[in-house]
Structure 1
Amino acid sequence: MTPSIPMTSDEINQFFLILQNLNPHPKGELNYCDPFTLLVAVVLSAQATDKSVNKVTPALFQIADTPEKMVTAGEEKVKDCIKSIGFYNTKSRNIIALSAKLIDQYAGKVPNHLEDLITLPGVGRKTANVILNTVFDKPTIAVDTHVFRVSNRTGLAQGGTPDQVEKELLKRIPQPFLSHAHHWLILHGRYICKARNPQCKVCPVSRFCHYVNKK
């Protein structure tokens, strides 16, 4: 998957200019109404599709859309709402635990610092970066499977781990694009630069991509 030649600075700039022109205000596809409900939705989305999460969150948020209501609802009610998605037992426990911690340590509010977010049960660096970027408009990059694949495949940023790719992306992406780069790369990977069958013939940024198996 790793290309032999990294993209140049000019190619990266053109790459993101095109994505920006096509979608000036990209958004994630999880449904939420505030920082807490987004946090819960992102925790639920681990090893699950956004579509499957969006099917279960309306019922969940109807009974519990704040940390206080979530703790009151309890693990069994949460589990019943989300049982159609993977790892629902663990995710139920984490949601109750992170809600309790938000109440105890953050006055029921979602914190806006990476160091605080990653102490919450079920919240890793990727989830924290999604929250920081989407809610607090911080120039972070959440490296999921789509971002990892697109970055390595195109030559945008190479690395063997998500953390390595994140560091490279933050160094290589021009500052004006950082606020939205996370969403552009996810959407590009989800719909164009797919894992098994990348749509190179219709890819709007193909000419800047160094994918060795481009068709």
Structure 2
Amino acid sequence: MDVSERYRESWESYWRDTSDAPGAAIFDCAAELAAGRHLTLLAPFADASLPVVDLGCGTGTQTRCLARHFPRAIGVDLAEAAVAHARRADTGGTARFEQLNATDQDAVRRLHERIGDANVYLRAVIHQSEPDARPAVAAAVAALLGDRGRAFVVEPLSRAKQVLAHASQGADGPPPKLASIFAHGLTPADADDATIPGFFRDLGLPVLASGEIDLVMTENRADGERIDLPAQWLDLGR
């Protein structure tokens, strides 16, 4: 299933309304708190001679980190406005950024044909996708891996919803970065825990390793404590 126009425009408008300042997006944490940590979990399985695709790259913060560990890094995102953010931030030209709809099987296939088997980094994308489109996002990961690639997938656990609900209960309502997500009609932490690995198993993509980890955000509660979300991580590959 393709993504809806409403969903596509929600992300375009979100990124148009988000500044270029590092950390302006609630999930745009420093790379050492995300991809830097995740690479240690992927490294035992990944062929570091292959390129890496950051699927749902946003501002490209994590893509630029990945580019230091793989010969080629490609950040792709549904929103043209996100890709524009990423290109502006990559002043050193360390990575390549492209618009890609992960539910478009033909577009994903063309990317795979162009770069060959690749490792894939997927951070907090499936939970934010429309429910009917989630299997297609998982299928995009499988297609990009081919036979040799490996994937690192990290997604919030369902109990992250309670964390976000608690953070929204202050006298002034949700803190600004979380309020911006809600204002654009996006629904974080809206996926069942068991369905995430299930999507990949249904595609014949085994889970090689898994565990729990905090998904670091850039927003704080009213008391100043950072909002981190409980998440599950998966290493995947044939």
User: What interval of TM-score do these two structures reach, taking the shorter chain for normalisation?
Assistant: under 0.3
Larger strand proportion, structure 1 or 2?
Answer: 2
Higher share in helix: 1
* Larger RCO, structures 1/2 (Cα 8 Å, 6+ apart): 1
- Compare CA radii of gyration and give the structure with the larger one: 1
